[in-house]
């Protein structure tokens, strides 16, 4: 402990008169929260995996040779062009990898702070609870979106290097020129983001409920697994339409000669409906919570 410590500063008399109210609205700026999260190892590892995966896939195709052409599907046309490759990469990762990435960013954000005990100091700083959640949610969703976006983006780059830029060959037959396909790619990535919203929201709700980041992330991923299992039970019939993951591959409707919007509209409705309720529960829960971590 430094022996020459000086504690001058403003005297308490002046400090007492200082208006403290306006500063609350500037607490926990997005940039600060982004920096706090960015340097975390799990952020860097998650992005590293997502950015390396396309190159691994490229290597796999180079070693394994061209996929066979017997069955229609995204894999058979994966090496047709950069965009085909990006679509394939999205197809193989949408079911699990991206889910884990999204759950990671949204499920860990509050629970990890609770685990480090830093949450109570932020709250006492003071950062109002609703604001803390809002800022954390925005940053977490931002990172999650960046993760979902970075995979196809890197795949486009890797695909261009390996297979060249060109028109997209549709799995059902036929081709779409590169310009149109880029627009459809935007639709696809946009929808992939929306459909992951429900995972993000659930992870976030669990994140404010538990102090264990692993529990929050695992819980959200578990929901996806359970929902997929129930979705496989065809006997459930129309009820499956309301499962959160039932429409998660509806973005493939953008790969038909004419885009089919119905599935994506339904998926968006389901995802948004669940997310809004789950997020409201998260805010409500956090607002009344006794923070004892």
Partner 1 sequence: MPRRWAITAAAGVLAVGGGLVWAAADDAPPVRVEHHRIQVVDGPDDDQRVTLDASFFPPVGHRSAPAVMLAHGFGGSKDDTRAEAEELARAGYAVLTWSARGFGRSTGEIALDSPDYEVKDTRQLIDWLARRPEVQRDPGAADPRVGIAGESYGGAIALLTAAHDPRVDAIAPQQTWNDLAAVLFPNATGAQPRTGVFKKLWAGIFFTAGSPDNGPGPAPSTACGRFLPSLCEMYQEVAETGRPTDEAVRVLRRSSPAAYADRIKAPTLLVQGQTDSLFPLDQADAGARAIARNGVPVSVAWIQGGHDGGDQETGRVRGLVRDWFDRHLRRNGQAAPPAFAVSRTGGIDSSTQEVVIQAATASTYPGLRANVRDVPLAGREQTVFNPAGGTPASVSALPGLGALGALDGLGAGGMLPSDIPGQAATFDSRPLDRPLHLTGAPTVRIRVSGDEDAALFAKLYDVAPDGRAAPARRLAAPLRVEKSGEVTVTLPPMDYRFDRGHRLRLVLSTTDMGFATSPKPAAHKVAVVSGLSVPTVPALHTPGAPLPGWVWGLPLAALALAAGLLVQGRRPRRDSPDPALADVPLQITGLTKRYRNGHLAVDDLSLRVEQGQVLGLLGPNGAGKTTTLRMLMGLIHPDAGEIRIFGHRVRPGAPVLARLGSFVEGPGFLPHLSGRDNLDLYWRATGRPAADAHLDEALAIADLGAALERPVRTYSQGMRQRLAIAQAMLGLPDLLVLDEPTNGLDPPQIREMRDVLVRYAATGRTVIVSSHLLAEVEQTCTHAVVMSRGRRVAAGPVAEIVGTRQRLEDAFLEIIGEGT
Q: Stretches 56-64, 90-98, 154-162, 168-176: which one binds partner 1 (CB under 8 A)?
A: 168-176
CA dihedral 172, 255, 192, 190 (to 10 degrees): 180
258 lies in the site for partner 1, by CB under 8 A: yes
Tell me whether residue 93 or residue 250 sits nearer to partner 1 (CB atom). 250
**Please, what's the b/e burial string for 8-20 (b: 16 or more CB within 10 A of its CB; e: otherwise)?**
eeeeeeeeeeeee
Q: Stretches 58-66, 80-88, 110-118, 179-187: which one binds partner 1 (CB under 8 A)?
A: 110-118
Indicate the SS3 state at residue 176. Answer: strand
Indicate the SS3 state at residue 168. Answer: strand
Out of 30, 96, 161, 172, point to the residue binding partner 1 (CB under 8 A).
172
Give the position of tokens 């308490």. Answer: 12
Give the position of tokens 């692993």. Answer: 214
Tell me whether residue 164 or residue 257 sits nearer to partner 1 (CB atom). 257
Instruction: Tell me the backbone φ, ψ of residue 136, rounded to 5 degrees.
Output: -65, -40
Minimum CB separation of residue 81 from partner 1 in Å reads 14
Q: Stretches 48-56, 75-83, 142-150, 285-293: which one binds partner 1 (CB under 8 A)?
A: 285-293
164 lies in the site for partner 1, by CB under 8 A: no
Tell me whether residue 140 or residue 246 sits nearer to partner 1 (CB atom). 246
Minimum CB separation of residue 158 from partner 1 in Å reads 26
Site for partner 1 in 238-257 (CB under 8 A): 238-239, 241-242, 246-247, 249-250, 252-253, 256-257
7 lies in the site for partner 1, by CB under 8 A: yes
Report the C-alpha gap between 250 and 260 in whole angstroms.
Answer: 9
Out of 77, 101, 127, 158, point to the residue binding partner 1 (CB under 8 A).
127
Site for partner 1 in 19-48 (CB under 8 A): 20-21, 23-29, 32-33, 35-36, 39-41
Contact indicator for 267, 190 with CB cutoff of 8 Å: no
Closest CA to 202 of 243, 150, 261: 243
Report the C-alpha gap between 191 and 251 in whole angstroms.
Answer: 6
179 lies in the site for partner 1, by CB under 8 A: no
What tokens does 271 get? Answer: 């995802």
69 lies in the site for partner 1, by CB under 8 A: no
What tokens does 224 get? Answer: 């996806």
Site for partner 1 in 189-218 (CB under 8 A): none
Tell me whether residue 1 or residue 63 sits nearer to partner 1 (CB atom). 1
- Angle at the Cα of 267 from the Cα atoms of 262 and 272, rounded to 5 degrees: 130
């Amino acid at each position: 402990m430094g022996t020459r410590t000086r504690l001058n500063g403003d005297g308490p008399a002046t400090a007492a008169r200082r208006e403290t109210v306006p500063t609350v609205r500037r607490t926990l700026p997005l940039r600060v929260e982004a920096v706090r999260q960015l340097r975390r190892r799990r952020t860097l590892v998650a992005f590293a995996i997502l950015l390396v995966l396309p190159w691994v896939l490229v290597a796999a195709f180079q070693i394994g040779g061209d996929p066979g052409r017997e069955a229609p599907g995204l894999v058979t046309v994966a090496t047709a062009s950069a965009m085909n490759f990006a679509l394939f990469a999205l197809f193989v990762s949408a079911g699990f990898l991206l889910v884990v990435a999204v759950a990671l960013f949204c499920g860990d954000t509050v629970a990890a702070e609770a685990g480090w005990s830093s949450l109570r100091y932020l709250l006492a700083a003071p950062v109002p609870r609703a604001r803390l959640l809002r800022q954390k949610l925005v940053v977490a969703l931002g990172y999650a979106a960046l993760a979902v976006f970075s995979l196809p983006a890197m795949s486009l780059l890797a695909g261009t290097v390996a297979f060249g830029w060109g028109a997209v060959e549709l799995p059902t037959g036929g081709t779409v020129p590169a310009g149109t396909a880029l627009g459809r790619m935007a639709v696809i990535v946009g929808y992939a983001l929306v459909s992951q919203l429900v995972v993000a929201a659930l992870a976030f709700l669990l994140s404010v409920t538990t102090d264990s980041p692993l529990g929050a992330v695992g819980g959200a991923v578990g929901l996806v697994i359970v929902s997929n299992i129930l979705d496989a039970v065809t006997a459930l019939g129309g009820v499956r339409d309301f499962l959160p993951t039932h429409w998660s591959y509806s973005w493939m409707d953008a790969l038909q000669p004419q885009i089919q919007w119905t599935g994506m509209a339904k998926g968006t409705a389901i995802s948004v409906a669940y997310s809004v309720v789950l997020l409201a529960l998260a805010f409500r829960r956090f607002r009344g919570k006794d923070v004892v971590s």
